[in-house]
Amino acid sequence: MKLRRLNNALHRDIGYFFFGMAIIYGLSGIALNHRHHWNPNYIINQEVKTISIPTNVSDGKALSVAILELLDNNLIYKTHLEAGNNLRIFVEGGTINVNRTSGVTSMETVRRRPVFNQVNYLHYNTPRKLWTWFSDLFALGLIVLAITGLFVLKGKNGLKRRGVYFVVTGILIPLLLLYLYMSN
């Protein structure tokens, strides 16, 4: 009887302690699994417009600033590059490519995706040092949670009856998928 109470208390307390880590790794895991559908770290916007290029300005910087005013007053100029009829304007959070002959501008802005950028930063183990130790402790905690979870319930819903089917199925599905992926 004491062993079951210890098991349940251990399972409960480890679950509470690692709740935040489970959310971090769960969100970032889903995001990273689908990175071929979307960029989980950044929101990238692309927009094409045709504008009338100011003809009264010859200086590259002054022309860049004048073009930015035509496009959007909130764009903050950083620098620019000129090559023939092309002008590339670097702004805070993006770039604008301008064809001075046709007036066609293509603007690309990049900003961090809220929440996902931060949880992916942690998931990639970018911070290192203490974070590595804490995430290793979390991985060990998951192992303990899995083992202690087997013995939380008893009776018809416990491991000896209903639980065994879920455990066996949960082991067989990854093994089957591994076999299918490795045999191709």
The pLDDT tens digits along the chain (184 residues) read 699 999 999 999 999 999 999 999 999 999 999 999 999 999 999 999 999 998 888 788 999 999 998 887 688 999 999 998 999 999 999 999 999 989 999 999 999 999 999 999 998 888 888 999 999 999 999 999 999 999 999 889 888 899 999 999 999 999 999 999 999 7
pLDDT value for 39? 93
* Same domain for 122 and 107: no
* Same domain for 86 and 60: yes
Number of domain units in the chain: 3
pTM of the model: 0.73
Q: Which domain holds residue 140?
A: 1-38+114-152
Q: Rounded to whole angstroms, how far apart are CA atoms 146 and 143?
A: 5
| Domain end position, chosen among 112, 140, 169 | 112
Give the Å distances, CA to CA, from 102 to 18, 89, 98, 108: 58, 16, 9, 19
* Same domain for 118 and 31: yes
pLDDT value for 1? 65
* Same domain for 119 and 107: no
Contact assessment for residue 111 and residue 42, using Cβ atoms and an 8 Å cutoff: yes
The backbone region for 105, taken as left when phi is positive above 0, alpha when psi lies in -120 to 50, beta otherwise, is: beta
* Same domain for 119 and 97: no
The DSSP bridge pattern shows strands 94-99 and 42-50 to be unpaired
pLDDT value for 107? 93
Which CATH number fits the domain that encloses residue 48? 3.30.160
Sign of the Cα torsion 171, 172, 175, 181 reads negative
* Same domain for 166 and 123: no
pLDDT value for 72? 78
